[in-house]
A and B are shown apart, each in its own frame.
Chain A
Amino acid sequence: MTDRQLITLRVNGEPYELVIEPRRTLADTLRQDLGLTGTHLGCEHGICGACTVLVDGAPARACLMFAVQAEDRDIRTVESLADGDELSDLQRAFSAHHALQCGFCTPGFLMLAEGFLAERPEATREEIRELVSSNLCRCTGYQPIVDAVEDCARRRQASRREHDRAACGEAERSGHAAGA
């Protein structure tokens, strides 16, 4: 049966039109139809997490989803993290903490952490350890991955506080100016 279907996908902000078989998983579509090979495939049954992407902001297994199910959803892959040659803060933290060796699992861990930190910016180390148990890494022993995610979370918290203080100061100054 070569039942093909026209679908539209939105990946990393870009719209795509594709004619694909419904049995095409999102992971295969990303890799083979869109050439976005950053999303890796290990087990193809939900265990390893190498294929983790964000679906409407939430981490999900791209091997356990058909591309047709992803229509009208906002899909983000690891390719969306860096800005040209400029790595994102999370990617830099992975590099600084040696949170990768062979790198096969890395796209999955990055998207897992990206989605999680967006929902839980104040995450504790314990929560991060729990999160990291979602995916498999055969090289690092996980500790550096936990360190990297925690470091990134702390830096984002610090910069948010900095930003809030600046905004507060700004408001105070304009308040004084208005009162004067």
Chain B
Amino acid sequence: MKPAAFTYHRARDVAGAIRLLAELGDEAKIIAGGQSLVAMMNYRLARPAHLVDIGRIGGLDHLRGDGSTLRIGALTTHHAVEVATDAWLGRGFTLLRDAMAWVGHLPIRTRGTVGGSLAHADATAEWCLLAVLLDAEIVASGPRGTRTIAAGDFFHGFYTTALAADEMITEVVFPRPAPHSALLEFAERRGDFAIVSAAVDLDVDEHRAGRAVRGGRVALGGVAPVPVRVPEAEAVLAEGGQAGPDLFRRCAAAAAAAIDPPGDGNGSADYRRALTQTLIEDACAKAVSR
């Protein structure tokens, strides 16, 4: 349980980190919070010859909302989002704060970063699910400049993303508020990665009595190698209707029927479908009550 030897480099700024990554090539890896990477190195599942520590780069731990968009620095920790005030986040982004309670435990959240979560791309990571649900844009810098990657194009498979080895995430942008949204998940023990996680973002007609749903987005984690949107469930929401158990049950059933989840030691495919049904129904109910 001891990591293999490596050479340590501390990057002073983004340009320096990218230069190091380009020079050192495939043998190098970024370390941010280390909450996924060090565990993998202790197991020797990862044995990078060089680590480029980006943890000291200034100006990447921001959380900047202007009411309509929210920009989060790659080095912002899960815990910083968890304790962010309404004023920092803006009313439409409190989902992000609430979702942090699901990310491991406090001592993981104090060090783990938003950029690290996205780059690590665990199939049930909360940040990856939130990014897909809310059409986030991931900003990455590399030797060829800076580019913005839509969350929908970012996740390629288990622990694989659109990032090149010499690119670094600097920021993630959430482009619109989601005032009626919720994320729920099920794991056997508190703080574990979820077996299934579900997140919804409803368009609610505030002006009509009894609250009508006009549409919305539904995303699931743990049912495919990457977090996925479920167009079949979103179609049910787009037909619209009175916010309530009937609509939410139909939306969840459409999702459970549409997915083709894996069966493994954590749960069979049928079990994951049953979790999907329950979690989406409950998430819709929670989202509409916000």
Contacts and interface: CB of A to CB of B under 8 A. Distances in A.
Contacts of B1: 44-45
Contact of B106 (A25, A55, A66, A112): A112
Interface stretch (A77-85, A88-96, A130-138, A147-155): A130-138
Contact of B5 (A21, A61, A65, A115): A21
A5 interface: yes
A22 interface: yes
Contact of A133 (B7, B41, B105, B111): B105
The interface centre, meaning the residue of B49, B104, B106, B191 with most chain A CB atoms within 10 A of its CB, is B106
Give the size category of B's interface with A. 20 to 34
Interface residues of A, number: 34
What does DSSP make chain B's interface, helix, strand, loop or mixed?
loop
A52 interface: yes
A97 to B, nearest CB: 21
A134 B2 contact: no
Contacts, number: 97
B8 A46 contact: no
B5 A1 contact: yes
A46 B108 contact: yes
What does DSSP make chain A's interface, helix, strand, loop or mixed?
mixed
A60 interface: yes
Contact of A66 (B38, B110, B189): B38
A3 to B, nearest CB: 5
A159 interface: no
Given A65-B34, A65-B38, 5 more contacts: A23-B3, A25-B42, A46-B39, A68-B8, A134-B191
Interface of B: 1-8, 10, 31, 34-35, 38-39, 41-43, 49, 51, 53, 55, 79, 83, 101, 104-108, 110-111, 189-191
Interface of A: 1-3, 5, 21-23, 25, 28, 44-46, 49, 52, 55, 58-61, 63-66, 68-69, 112, 115-116, 119, 130-131, 133-135
26 contacts: A1-B6, A3-B5, A3-B7, A3-B8, A21-B5, A22-B51, A23-B4, A23-B6, A25-B3, A45-B39, A46-B39, A46-B104, A49-B105, A58-B79, A59-B110, A60-B111, A61-B35, A63-B38, A66-B34, A68-B8, A112-B106, A112-B107, A115-B106, A116-B106, A133-B105, A134-B106
